[in-house]
Amino acid sequence: MEIKIMKNILDRNQNKANEVRTLLASKKIVMVNIISSPGAGKTTLLERTCEKLGTKFKLGVIEGDITTDRDAQRLVKYDIPIVVINTEGGCHLDSNSISKVLDSFDLDNLDILFVENVGNLICPSQFDLGETFKLAIVSTTEGDDKPAKYPMLFRESRAVILNKIDLMPYTNFNYKSFRDDLTKINATVPLMEVSLTRGDGLDKWYEWITEQIISPDNLH
Amino acid sequence: MEIKIMKNILDRNQNKANEVRTLLASKKIVMVNIISSPGAGKTTLLERTCEKLGTKFKLGVIEGDITTDRDAQRLVKYDIPIVVINTEGGCHLDSNSISKVLDSFDLDNLDILFVENVGNLICPSQFDLGETFKLAIVSTTEGDDKPAKYPMLFRESRAVILNKIDLMPYTNFNYKSFRDDLTKINATVPLMEVSLTRGDGLDKWYEWITEQIISPDNLH
């Protein structure tokens, strides 16, 4: 391929990501970089999480989108701070754009900042935003071959959510093949199987993300 | 955003795309650049099309993939020439990579060349490969908001396939909202509603793609 991301771009991104990470750690804020295909369930995960944990913890959201604020509009009914970054065609967020919008939040009143990256399994995996960890969402309707085809995301994520398990019976999704591929790429990664629209399996997610928020390991 | 595709990269891509287009026209080959999210149905569309039209027309396939040849493996049972381009992390194909692999085909024995781009709604829309036209696939399980959120692809495609209509009853896909958004972006684009696994609606696709293959308008 002719087009590559040049090392100087990645270096610059990394330096800014390190700054973001240091700032967030000093404020004891966990930042989650959520990555998935278009329509896999990122915004719905945020809706469910705001409903369940919005009064227990101080949440904030950065919405990355090519051109609209549609995802953010779905979240305005929850009383949390939201900032939209429109990438104007760009296929991922970068640490510089995150760094610029952090000022818009009251960082002394925030426990966890969710970043909904642009819907894309590829480029977002390559750019450190300064997050505490990455979270991958994949849905059964996309097929069982996503870990094998996009290994970098699944290697780098601290947890994987398998969404739309209620639709699995209507698809040719092979659970064993999915699980085997994922284990080969990241043997110890927690896998949470959920239906974000119906609510199946969400207790495990609320428990896991709560642990991440309160764990002192995430705050240095 | 800090990262932009620089004009010299796009210009270089465009020049090579023009060369590819001229070469294919001289050989009377239609090239289709298929773009969708991961798991929306690109490879399944090729399977169905090989089954139905593989003896009637001379087909060829270029498979763009990050790292594996899994999609190509699904097509080897059809007796057609296939070339895999692994982008090694790159999020889209470019015209230079297409130009390099055209030599691997017998261009005097080809009616139509399908290019399965990398699964991504964003970057592939921005790079002309020298194709005759782009084809967008979107599936009901991704949600109804894809045209509004990724307008460039839907503006530039000659046709749109809406796949997984059999799963629509199990989702919150709002057909009217999808149709209205699509019409705003591209009022005249043909929309084909199909279930690629079950076969619903495929006759319209076979008819439409046959027209594209035999139309003299596509061959200059």
pLDDT beyond 70 at A35: yes
B155 touching chain A per CB within 8 A:
no
User: What is the domain-level CATH number for residue B123?
Assistant: 3.40.50.300
- pLDDT, tens only, B70-109: 999 999 999 999 999 998 888 999 999 999 999 999 999 9
A4 inside domain: no
CB contact (8 A) between residue B38 and residue A148? no
pLDDT beyond 90 at A8: no
A4-13, A92-101, B22-31: range with lowest mean pLDDT: A4-13
B139 touching chain A per CB within 8 A:
yes
Q: What distances in angstroms separate CA B37 from CA A13, A173, B93, B153, B172, one per listed residue?
A: 26, 17, 14, 11, 18
pLDDT beyond 60 at B8: yes
Give the residue-averaged pLDDT of B168-190.
97
Cα separation, B44 vs A186, whole angstroms? 28
Nearest CB to B142; choose among A5, A38, A146: A38
Question: What would the two tokens of residue B190 be?
Answer: 């043909």
pLDDT beyond 80 at A157: yes
Please report which confidence band the pLDDT of residue A10 belongs to, taking 50, 70 and 90 as the band edges. Answer: confident
CA torsion angle B201 B206 B208 B214 (round to 10): -170
Q: What is the DSSP string of chain B?
A: ------HHHHHHHHHHHHHHHHHHHHTT-EEEEEEESTTSSHHHHHHHHHHHHTTTS-EEEEEEESS--HHHHHHTTSSS-EEEEE-TT-SS--HHHHHHHHTTS-GGG-SEEEEE--S-SSHHHH---S-SEEEEEEEGGG-TTHHHHSHHHHHHEEEEEEE-GGGGGGS---HHHHHHHHHHH-TT--EEE--TTT-TTHHHHHHHHHHHHH-GGGG-
Amino acid present at A138? V
Chain B: closest CA distance from residue A146 (Å): 8
CB contact (8 A) between residue B149 and residue A67? yes
CB contact (8 A) between residue A145 and residue B121? no
Chain A: closest CA distance from residue B148 (Å): 8
Cα separation, B33 vs B132, whole angstroms? 8
A69-73, A142-146, B8-12, B123-127: range with lowest mean pLDDT: B8-12
Chain B: closest CA distance from residue A141 (Å): 7
Nearest CB to A96; choose among B2, B40, B122: B2
CB contact (8 A) between residue A167 and residue B171? yes
Q: What distances in angstroms separate CA A152 from CA A33, A155, A184, B67, B90, one per listed residue?
A: 14, 5, 12, 10, 12
> Which phi and psi (to 5°) does residue A163 adopt?
-95, 165
The residue of chain A with its CA nearest to that of B10 is: A3
Please report which confidence band the pLDDT of residue A4 belongs to, taking 50, 70 and 90 as the band edges. Answer: low
Nearest CB to B1; choose among A88, A126, A166: A88
CB contact (8 A) between residue B66 and residue A13? no
B41 inside domain: yes
The predicted pLDDT at position A219 comes to 66
A1 inside domain: no
The predicted pLDDT at position A2 comes to 40
CB contact (8 A) between residue B167 and residue A170? yes
Q: Contact at 8 Å (CB) between B213 and B24?
A: no
| B135 closest CA partner among B107, B108, B168, B113 | B113
Roughly what angle, to the nearest 10 degrees, separates helices A202-214 and A42-53? 70
Please report which confidence band the pLDDT of residue A1 belongs to, taking 50, 70 and 90 as the band edges. Answer: very low
Nearest CB to B126; choose among A89, A94, A148: A89
Please report which confidence band the pLDDT of residue B1 belongs to, taking 50, 70 and 90 as the band edges. Answer: very low
A3 inside domain: no
The predicted pLDDT at position A6 comes to 63
B2 inside domain: no
Chain B: closest CA distance from residue A213 (Å): 29
pLDDT beyond 90 at B131: yes
Give the residue-averaged pLDDT of A182-187.
97
Average confidence score pLDDT of chain B = 93
B172 touching chain A per CB within 8 A:
yes
pLDDT beyond 80 at B219: no
Roughly what angle, to the nearest 10 degrees, separates helices B95-102 and B7-26? 30
Q: Which residues of B touch A197 (CB under 8 A)?
A: 171-172
Q: Which residues of B touch A4 (CB under 8 A)?
A: 90
A49-53, A97-101, A215-219, B34-38: range with lowest mean pLDDT: A215-219
Cα separation, A85 vs A64, whole angstroms? 5
The predicted pLDDT at position B2 comes to 40
CB contact (8 A) between residue A38 and residue B96? no
Cα separation, A219 vs A207, whole angstroms? 18
CB contact (8 A) between residue A121 and residue B119? yes
Structural domain of A90: 11-214
Cα separation, B100 vs A34, whole angstroms? 36
Chain B: closest CA distance from residue A214 (Å): 32
Q: What angle do CA A101, B124, B188 make, to 5 degrees?
A: 105
Q: Contact at 8 Å (CB) between A62 and A115?
A: yes
Average confidence score pLDDT of chain A = 93
The residue of chain B with its CA nearest to that of A69 is: B149
The predicted pLDDT at position B90 comes to 87
Question: What would the two tokens of residue A90 be?
Answer: 């760009």
A47 inside domain: yes
B3 inside domain: no
The predicted pLDDT at position A34 comes to 98
Question: What would the two tokens of residue B179 be?
Answer: 């149709």
A94 touching chain B per CB within 8 A:
yes
Q: Which residues of B touch A90 (CB under 8 A)?
A: 1, 3-4, 122
- pLDDT, tens only, A37-55: 999 999 999 999 999 999 9
Which one is predicted more confidently, A219 or B147? B147
What domain count does chain A have?
1
The predicted pLDDT at position A3 comes to 45
A220 inside domain: no
Chain A: closest CA distance from residue B51 (Å): 19
- pLDDT, tens only, A168-184: 999 999 999 999 999 99
Name the residue with tokens 């006759």.
B203
The residue of chain A with its CA nearest to that of B99 is: A1
Q: Which residues of A touch B96 (CB under 8 A)?
A: 1-2
